[in-house]
Structure 1
């Protein structure tokens, strides 16, 4: 149960920070490229990317941790 809460909280934190940093980086990038800035599209894309990355890293590390314990 505690592991599930840790995973959920890490997902929430990663998505929130990715949204914030995505907005900042998107604003700077749009200013440098002289393009229009669409905050919702940039923030959602950054949040989805972070969600996939956090869960992918969790799944990869979970498999490697269980396989190293079974070898001993």
Structure 2
């Protein structure tokens, strides 16, 4: 549960920063709520999809 909350919080923070910079560079309007929530959803889906496909390596017993 803590991993999921961390993903959502950092997704929101990165979304705000990237959204602000891209709006300033393109001359568009900046919507803080949209950019934050959109990044949270995308980050959540991507991390969980990668976690599903990438498994931790099996531990080997050393003699």
Shorter-chain TM-score range? 0.7 to 0.9
> Which residue, 45, 48, 59 being the options, matches 1:55?
48
Choose between structure 1 and 2: higher helix proportion: 1
Deviations 1:2-57 (A, max 9, x none): xxxxxx21111011001001101100100000011000000011000011012112
RMSD: 1.7
Q: Which ranges in structure 2 are unaligned for 5 or more consecutive residues?
A: 59-63
| TM-score w.r.t. length of structure 1 | 0.71
**Number of residue pairs matched by the alignment:** 59
Say whether 1:15 aligns with 2:8: yes
TM (norm. structure 2) is 0.80
Moved over 6 A (4+): none
1:44 to 37, 47, 57: 37
